[in-house]
Structure 1
Amino acid sequence: MSIHSHDDLATFREITSAVNHAVEAGTLPEVLERIAEATRKLVNARYAALGVPDHEGSLQYFMVAGMTHDEVANLRGHEPQGLGLLGAIMDERHTIILDDMKSDPRSVGFPPAHPHMTSFLGVPIQVGRQLFGMLYLSDRADGQPFDEDDQWLVETMAGYAALAISGVRIGEQQNRINLLEERKRIGMDLHDGIIQSLYAIGMQLELARLSGKATQEDLQASVVALNDVIDDIRDFIMDLRAVSYSKQTVYDSLADVISRLHVPEQIVIDVQAPDQLAICSPIVLEAACQIAHEAISNALRHAEADHISVKAIQSSGIFRIEVADNGKGFDLDRLNQHQGLGLRNIQQRARLHNGSVRIHTAVGEGTRLTVSIPVKIHSSKENGRVGRAAR
């Protein structure tokens, strides 16, 4: 063990420091991932995981620590569903500690390609009877079974983790409330301005129809008024987009793109992007997100892939978007001769901002599309958070 129970003060400091670091991540998936990794290190275990239940008895989130990228990739399609010992923590809501998990009747075994695991320590993350999640650990690095000191450490971490997860949930709820209030404000603005203008034009046209005396000048005046309203709507939409992209981080902007797509359950989309405001203008960020939307849509429709990665990179003077898939790929020479509408749209959007498009693909090797846009540094609030995943 890396921490001993007789040094309680140092232990509490390490736990509170780890939880504070986790909360700085901001979004729940990365908070969970950081807590799982911190707990794994705390008891010097080989593997750790943190699960958050949904409202149907399964798992909404399941973040792992200690596995390699290849080990995680091999388990795609066999994600935990909250059964066996994982579900026992959810149902029984008390600590379970086992020297050999496969000997326990609640164990349901492992899927193919799962790393071999022997010992088990599972702890509910809860306040009172409210369950926020479950911490799972397996196999101490020294080969010894988990003991009472390990149990105390993980239960202490779980108590702090409950507060951290609760805080993030409250923040997410507040964001939803803010969004609803913003929608209400937008509705009022539309009603007081644009809708009233349309209503007035409609009344003028209706009066002209009923009188039967509408002149060409009357109709032309209505057309001019309608064009003015169209301009107002266009300006209104542009203002909304500018406000949205000026307030959202790069990651959140890309996550919104994916949320608007229909992603089949068997396809995983990973997002790696700075959790900070863009260095470019909101207009450029909007264009980059539209490009990402087009590229992801193309991959979903044509690539026959089960994994798509989306990366955004901000470097000095360059904003770069990369969309890659592990699908069937295609003949690039043939594509250049017969450009589809999707690729043409991507290239046109990039050119509007003096950007460039590079495509690397071959039959059977997947596809990687990279768009680079030169930018003048607009705004940046660095906090160093990257690599979150979205689905």
Structure 2
Amino acid sequence: MRLTGARYGALGVRDSECPGGRFSQFVFEGIDPATASAIGELPQGRGILGLVFDDPVPVRLDDLHAHPASVGFPEGHPPMRTFLGVPILVHGRVFGTLYLTEKAEGATFTADDESLVRALASAAGIAIDNARLYDQSRASRRRLEAVHDVSTVLLAGGDLDRALQVVADRALELTGADQSFLAMPADPDAPVEDIDELTIVVAAGPESARAVGSVLPVTRSSAGRVFRMRTPANSNQLEYAPFDRALDAYGPALIVPLRAGDGVTGVLVTLRRRGRPAFNSDQLALMTSFADQAALALRFAAAQREKHELHLLADRDRIARDLHDHVIQRLFAAGLSLHGTVDRMTSPELRARIDATIDELQEVIADIRATIFDLHDGGGEPRPLRQRLRRAVADLTADSPVETNIRIGGRVADLTPVLADHTEAVVREAVSNAVRHSGAAHIRVLVNVGDRVTVEIVDDGCGVGEPAEHGGLANLAARADEVGGTFRCDSPVGGGTRVLWSAPAAG
């Protein structure tokens, strides 16, 4: 303004997320606060102000009202006639525009004025580019630090919830958001297409207490669509917000999937209050990269925990084998030896003492067997049913050449503990029968949970004869009766055996 003698000046920053062109920011000088308040809404980049968006060359007018693109001024706007608009270019693209109006003493802007402002705009473009590069460098460093924070918690042995909370906290800081949350499926091992709900497990921000525990439908929410499509989204409004009473307070949203390999473990969402600037493409890219790296860290930690758990299970199995094969057998042999000795005893007192010792040995054997059972059971928190079923099939077929194919679908995690136990028992019994009696080369296990839980085991073995009235098959029928279900075992056309067990999922 000082260089050209203009009375009014402004800088309009183009909204790079809007293809048609509008301002994300508009800073003005020369208009007092009272007049600005009377004018009301700031310019959006229409009319003459938007000319350089499509054709990035300076616009110099002696009378802006005479230009065909002029759309006039709102009521209360000060009169303006002369006009000079010069684009600020960053890497050949319009970042914004410098606007000057009303040259002093009613004069018009000259070619010299235009040259001065063009030089200023060029210098501004270089400075802006440098500032953006610096901001991108800082953002990248902050992202790496955030991922390091997540990894540190995991590698230090912190629990999963703590690591997820760090993800939500750092996402809030990285994007300058007001609220963030992380939503995940109840059963992390379920196929994506079988998941119809996500539960918010952690959150950061003022609405966290209200958000955590809320359920988002996959088919009717922004977060659900991102989860299923595995594609990040930048939205002006979150659909199906988990804190409906505060929904009106929030507008801009970034929604990114937590992708690791071919899988997706959840979605990370950041929100800003309505009226704040929308998230830009750089912030979306930053969040996407952070979420992907955090997901990899979580996946790696889960793999490490599983590996450690497998080592523990292997140790337990080895200890259990040693107890069974060596300790119990030696105790049993000692008991038999004492039994043989007691028959030759003539002293009632000695016979009584040896009988007591034999009883004590039997109690020790029973205690060791209980310990072996606990070792096989794991002694910790109940495992998800999917893991239990896969472990059962693996255990039953470990010493057999039979090939297995397992498919588990539907909302398996929603089964009651009773139905989950029945389902595991049915799979164990049917697979055990197939391995021991059918001579099958292939066994297919299908478990699906909808309105009913259905277990189907098919093998290509010798088939079945007349159903037995007792034993394993009778047990399966009894389990079905116990929960109001059905059981059938037959030989399909082409041979083999098909076991079909079903019960209402409501249990």
Which protein has greater RCO, CA pairs closer than 8 Å, 6+ apart? 1
- The structure number with the bigger radius of gyration is 2
* TM-score for the superposition, normalised by structure 2: 0.39
TM-score (norm 1): 0.49
